[in-house]
Amino acid sequence: MEIIKNIKDISLLKNLFLAISATIILAISAKIKIPFYPVPMTMQTFVVLLIGITFGWRLGLFTVCLYIFEGVIGLPVFAGTPEKGLGISYIIGPTMGYLLGFLVAVFLSGFLNFSNNHVLNFLKLSLAVSTIYLFGILWLSKFVGWEKVFALGAKPFLLAELFKILLLTLLLPKLLKFRKI
């Protein structure tokens, strides 16, 4: 019985280490950006899907929740921080919808079953990343209006997103070997 408890403790520590490590990678991906207004283009969407694919939905969702929590308490983990504010003041700004979309996207990319069919996998990853933009533009519309929201909050990023999804689709067979259910 003591061995089982120790194994669970080790597994918990391992998962916590993985989650914290992934939040660091996610924070770094937020800092790799091409400046756009009002939302910068970053590598975060790629990393969010990568976390879901490799960690599965449970650990992936925990990881992205931890990342958002880090930002809420004022750590400069988001794109544009600390320049554009920290903590709650940043969270309720133009990017909040995208951050909430990260939760749905990591869940979907961790929950969906992927196969050897590249087209189907591409479509599943496209669905997952689309939730980031759906939540993002719905929230962003409060700041820029409905007339401008698609042009500012989605259109400039679509080609880059297609490339990121294509890359993940090609890497998927290797990435799934690391998946934690």
Instruction: Band the pLDDT of 33: cuts 50, 70, 90.
Output: confident
Residue-averaged pLDDT of the chain: 91
Report the percent of the chain where pLDDT is more than 70: 91
pLDDT tens by residue, 7-17: 667 789 999 99
pLDDT tens by residue, 136-163: 999 999 999 999 999 999 998 898 899 9
Domain parsing of the chain, residue ranges: 2-178
Dihedral over alpha carbons 92, 97, 98, 99 (to 10 degrees) = 60
Question: In angstroms, rounded to a whole number, what is the distance separating the alpha carbons of residues 158 and 86?
Answer: 27
CATH architecture for segment(s) 2-178: Orthogonal Bundle (1.10)
Instruction: Band the pLDDT of 179: cuts 50, 70, 90.
Output: confident
- Other Cβ atoms less than 10 A from the Cβ of 13: the count is 10
Q: What ranges in the chain are assigned the alpha helix state H?
A: 2-31, 44-72, 87-91, 96-111, 118-144, 146-153, 158-175
Instruction: Encode 27-80 in three state secondary structure.
Output: HHHHHCEECCCCCCEECHHHHHHHHHHHHHHHHHHHHHHHHHHHHHCCCCCCCC
pLDDT tens by residue, 57-106: 999 999 999 999 999 999 999 988 888 888 998 899 999 999 999 999 99
- Other Cβ atoms less than 10 A from the Cβ of 62: the count is 18
Q: pTM for this structure?
A: 0.90
